[in-house]
Each structure stands twice: as structure tokens, then as C-alpha cells.
Amino acid sequence: MNMSNHDLHIAVTGLNATDNPGPGVSVLRSLRLAPDFTGELLGLTYDTLDPGIYNRELDLAGSFLIPYPSEGADALLARLRYIHERFRIDVLIPTLDSEFPSLMALQGDLERMGIRMFIPDKAQFDLRSKSRLLDLGRKADIDVPKGKIVMEASEIYRIHEEIPYPFMVKGVFYGASVVHTLDEALAAFHHMVASWGVPVIIQKFHAGEEYDVVAVGDGGGGLVGAVPMKKTFITDKGKGWAGVAVRDHELLAVTERFMAATRWRGPCEIEILKTSEPRYYLIEVNPRFPAWTYLSAGAGQNLPWATARLAAGEDVGVLPDYRPGTMFVRISIDQIATMDDFQAIATTGELVRNQEDES
């Protein structure tokens, strides 16, 4: 890639931006903020009412419906091939966990089409799963709360003999609940199974403060950049509505050990619990950008733009330091859209704003 040529066409998924937002809008805003980005942005979405479709400030060249992951890799490949023919896609940044199995399987096909991603391989993706977190902790020399994989409700009745109450009940993809009694544990188990299937993860509860780190690994064991954040306001869904970038060398040390042990390729979110001792426990690793990613760009490390450049083959090195004390405060606004726009996405599966930019 020509170092002076940043005329990339970048497609980003996850345009949901409700009170439980997807990361896509945050990633797109970060890319739009990059002063040397001169290309086009495309939105890939699953629902006609995903708010990112109608966000004029993102200046999307087009938004396209794509099939749900449950429809399989072949359907996704066919849809991406069509979009690629309409608008050249140079880089694809997926932002939802459920998208990765299909996209990892399709990576070779997409590269032959000219669509590049900077994502982990299957071994890396599997190692950071909730069900293998203890293995990851041992491999990376990182403390991890005691846990157990549960497949059937009958196991819940005696789990307290190994992991005393209170403990965490976690879904295999999303969701976590603190439970104090057998009734709460059974209810949480059945909720996670209904939402995400088995297994369900039981994890020892530790009191402390949660910190999240958004980071990008170079695929060779190195850390391209990382911004740790402490949530300062949390919604009833447990989502950070406000947060601040912090300076804590141990958070970055945990992140570096994770990158070195896994040789992680691409973005991730590392969730860490800091106890009063202090002791740092790895709680979870999400294999993509979080919804608060825009804080990284605001704090001086534009991690989405670095990821796009890495996918395009550019060596970005190690990013400049971030600015601790930088805050984000999320906002709910009413976006004005037109029925014409809604009808376009609802009837044709696409909303194209800049017709003259079509290939």
C-alpha cells in the first residue's frame, strides 16, 4: 500500500445504537475523525431501524442490509460480493462477536475478491472464549477468577460446593448476572441458555472496580495501541454511559501479556477487575471493538483507523501515547430521517446517498 494513499473504502458492521449499542457507529465516527482518511465509509446492518443508517454526520456512501449470521457463510459471501460490485470494499471491520465464525471461514474468499480484514484466526478466537478463560490465564500468566462450564440445569444445584455464592452466571456470547441464591442461579442459567445456548459459564465473584481496555494487536505478539477506561456511569443493562481514560501501568501490562501469549491480530476489548489489594483479574476478552471505541480516537489513539491501515497492509508501528483524563459521555438524540430513506432500505436492502461514487 502506498503510505500516502488513504483513499480506502471501509465497510463496518453493527450500526445498532440504542441503550445497548453496537460498536459500529463508534468505529465509523473514529474513522471519520482521522485527518488523513480520504476514502468512503459503508455501513453493513441487520435491521432497517438501526440508527447508524440515518446518521448524516457519518456521511456514509451507502448502507446495506446483510444476512444474519444464522443464515450461514454462503449467504453472507453472496451479499458481500454484491456490495463489493456496487461499492468497492477494501477493508471490512466486523464489530459483533457472532459475525466472526463466518468471516473467519470466508477470509480467503474475501481476500481473493480484494476485501481485507485484520481479525484473529480461529485458534486465537477460541482461546479467548469464556469457556477457556482459565487456559488463557495460565498461558498468559494472568489471574482469572475460578470458573466452571455448565451444560445442564441439574449441575446448578451443587455448583455452590465448588464456587460459593455469590457467583457470576455468564452466557457463552453475551450477558452476565450476579446471583446469591439457588433460585437466582437457575433463573439466570435458563435465561442464558434461552438467549445464547450452552455452555453457561459459572465464575467466582470478586468485589472490585471494573476497567476495560480497548486494544489492537499486531498479530506477532506486539501491542499497536491500547486505551484503558473506567466506567463512571453504568446503565441498568450494565453498559457504560460515561467513562474516563485512566493511567494504570498494570492494566497495560495485562494487555501486553495477553497480546504476547496469543499473538492477537486486530482489535479487542479486555475486561479487568481490580480488587482492593490490588489484584487484577481478567474477566473477559471480547474479540472486537467495544461500543465506547470513539474514546480511543478522542484520547489520541485512533485504533479503528490503525486497524484499517493494518488490514490494507500498512505498517503503523506503535501508536503515540493516549491522553489520560479524556472522558466520554454518551447521549441519546432524536435523529430526523425521511420515509424515502426508510423505504429504500426496507424494500431494496440498501440506502445509497452518493450515487456518483458508485463503481
Query: DSSP string spanning 103-160?
Result: HHHHHHHHHHHT-B-----HHHHHHTSGGGHHHHHHHHT-B---EEEE-SGGGGGGGG
Mean pLDDT across 34-49: 96
Q: Are 183 and 257 found together in one domain?
A: no
Question: 279 CB contacts (<8 Å, ≥6 apart)?
Answer: 143
| Domain span including residue 217 | 124-128+207-329
DSSP SS3 for 164: coil
Asked whether residue 249 is assigned to any structural domain, the reply reads yes
Q: Tell me the pLDDT band of 356, cut-offs 50, 70 and 90.
A: very low
**pLDDT score of 59 more than 80:** yes
CATH of the domain at 271: 3.30.470.20
Query: Residue 196 sits in a domain of what CATH number?
Result: 3.30.1490.20
Residue 215: C-alpha distances to residues 222, 252, 265, 332, 347 (Å): 11, 9, 10, 26, 38
Residues 172, 221, single domain; the answer is no
In a shared domain, residues 108 and 213: no
- Indicate the DSSP class of residue 356: G
Per-residue pLDDT, averaged over 64-81, amounts to: 96
Q: Is 201's pLDDT higher than 70?
A: yes
232 with 192, same domain: the answer is no
Between CA 125 and CA 97 the distance in angstroms is 10
User: In angstroms, rounded to a whole number, what is the distance separating the alpha carbons of residues 214 and 158?
Assistant: 37
Question: Closest Cα to residue 217, out of 275, 285, 135?
Answer: 285
Q: How far apart are CA 255 and CA 269, in angstroms?
A: 10
| Cα-based distances in Å from 150 to 45, 127, 130, 186, 336 | 33, 18, 12, 12, 46
Whole-angstrom CA distances from 158 to 130, 155, 202, 263 are 21, 6, 12, 38
Residues 272-303 pLDDT 10s: 999 999 999 999 999 999 999 999 999 999 99
First to last CA, the chain: 20
**Are 80 and 114 in a shared domain?**
yes
Note whether 265 and 309 are same-domain residues.
yes
pLDDT at res. 19: 81
2 lies in a domain? no
Q: Per-residue pLDDT for 226 more than 90?
A: yes
Q: Is residue 158 part of a domain?
A: yes
The CATH number assigned to the domain holding 51 equals: 3.40.50.20
Express as a percent the part of the chain with pLDDT over 70: 97
What angle (nearest 5°) sits at the alpha carbon of residue 60, between those of residues 58 and 62? Answer: 155
pLDDT over threshold 70, residue 197: yes
- CA dist., res. 152 & res. 172, Å (int): 14
Is 1 a member of any domain? no
Q: Which of 271, 263, 195 is nearest to 229 (CA)?
A: 271
Q: Are residues 40 and 113 in the same domain?
A: yes
136: in domain: no
Q: Using alpha carbons, select from 12, 22, 13 the residue that is nearest to residue 269.
A: 22
Of 201, 25, 22, 30, nearest in space to 99 by CA: 22
Q: 5 pLDDT band (50/70/90 cuts)?
A: low
Helices 133-140 and 249-262: crossing angle in degrees, nearest 10, is 100
Residue 3 is assigned to a structural domain of this protein: no
Quote the mean pLDDT of the chain: 93
Kindly state the percentage of the chain with pLDDT values over 90. 85
List all residues 6 or more positions away from 249 whose beta carbon is below 8 Å from its beta carbon: none
